[in-house]
């Protein structure tokens, strides 16, 4: 079963005179373990689509099946249960400034309830090490570079082993080399864990890392490189 199945999705913002349609009949199926990049001009509906797929916004019309669960009409408990199976990475890294890298990543585990603290510590240190931050584990965000902060945000999003990761312009604040490195690490960790990743980016330099590129314009999908690249991989 494909982890994300979007069918005939429409979305509107505002009411009355101000009502404006942001998505028009969007259909999209995303394969497990793939890295899909959403592109398109500002205002084309990328964030709207990402947040609908990520259960951060109510589905108004059409269908979003996420990990086999229909999100249209889903109750609050179902929505919360779904969000616990997801990881999110945003442009602003949203780290807690008063917590160290380790403590920020631990927050990604604690929303999932209690666990054995010793094992949690090992998992956090392991992931930060994989992300090249072994000597920054006890640093506060203020003492990390932009790229390092975004790698902490990736660790926080991945530490609970989410089935799907949604990233909205995660490299927007980074220079080329650190942006590329961050997405490369996100991709490699995703491949190793079978995580499905959907990422919005304007960054043409990282497109070569995508398994699939979907382009939106004025709320519609106008091009899609398709899933073949993913399926043909041995
Ligand atoms: P993108 O992420 O591609 O820049 P968005 O999904 O944020 O585009 O926005 C798509 C359209 O929906 C735009 O016309 C935007 O102005 C509108 N929009 C987005 N969020 C809201 C909102 N909260 N209220 C009203 N209009 C919105
Ligand atoms: Mg956006």
Q: Range with the lowest mean pLDDT among 58-67, 90-99, 106-115, 134-143?
A: 106-115
Taking CA atoms only, the protein residue closest to ligand 1 atom 10 is 45
Taking CA atoms only, the protein residue closest to ligand 1 atom 15 is 43
Q: Given the DSSP bridges, would you call strands 35-39 and 20-30 parallel, antiparallel or unpaired? A: unpaired
Provide DSSP, 150-205.
HHHHHHHHHTT--SEEEEESTTTTS-HHHHHHHHHHHHHHHHHHT-EEEEE---GG
Ligand 1 site, residue 201, Cβ cutoff 6 A: no
Ligand 1 site, residue 47, Cβ cutoff 6 A: yes
How far, in Å, CA of 64 to CA of 73, rounded?
A: 10
The whole-model pTM stands at: 0.92
- What's the 121 CA to ligand 2 centre distance in angstroms? 34
Q: Looking at the CA of 43, which ligand is closest?
A: 1
Q: Which atom of ligand 1 is nearest to the CA of 40?
A: 3
pLDDT higher than 50, residue 231: no
pLDDT higher than 50, residue 225: yes
Total residue length of the chain = 234
pLDDT in tens, 31-87: 999 999 999 999 999 999 999 999 999 999 999 999 999 999 999 999 999 999 999
CB 201 within 8 A of CB 39: yes
- CA 6: distance to chain centroid? 16
pLDDT in tens, 170-218: 888 788 888 888 899 889 988 988 999 999 998 888 999 999 999 999 9
How far, in Å, CA of 76 to CA of 127, rounded?
A: 31
How far, in Å, CA of 88 to CA of 160, rounded?
A: 12
């Amino acid at each position: 079963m494909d982890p994300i199945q979007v069918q005939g999705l429409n979305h509107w913002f505002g009411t009355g005179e101000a009502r404006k349609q942001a998505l028009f009949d969007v259909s999209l199926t995303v394969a497990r373990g793939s890295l899909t990049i959403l592109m398109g001009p500002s205002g084309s509906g990328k964030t709207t689509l990402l947040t609908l797929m990520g259960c951060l916004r109510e589905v108004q019309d059409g269908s979003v099946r996420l990990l086999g669960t229909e999100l249209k009409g889903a109750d609050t408990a179902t929505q919360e249960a779904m969000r616990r199976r997801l990881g999110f990475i945003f442009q602003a890294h949203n780290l807690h400034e008063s917590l160290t890298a380790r403590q920020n990543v631990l927050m990604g585990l604690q929303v999932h309830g209690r666990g054995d603290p010793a094992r949690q510590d090992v998992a956090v240190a392991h992931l930060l090490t994989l992300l090249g931050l072994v000597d920054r584990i006890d640093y506060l965000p203020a003492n990390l570079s932009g790229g390092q902060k975004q790698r902490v945000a990736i660790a926080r999003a991945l530490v609970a082993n989410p089935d799907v990761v949604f990233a909205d312009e995660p490299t927007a604040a980074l220079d080329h080399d650190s942006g590329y490195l961050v997405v490369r690490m996100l991709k490699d960790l995703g491949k190793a864990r079978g995580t499905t990743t959907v990422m919005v980016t304007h960054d043409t330099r990282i497109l070569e890392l995508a398994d699939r590129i979907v382009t939106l314009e004025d709320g519609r999908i106008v091009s899609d490189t398709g899933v073949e690249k993913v399926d043909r991989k041995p």
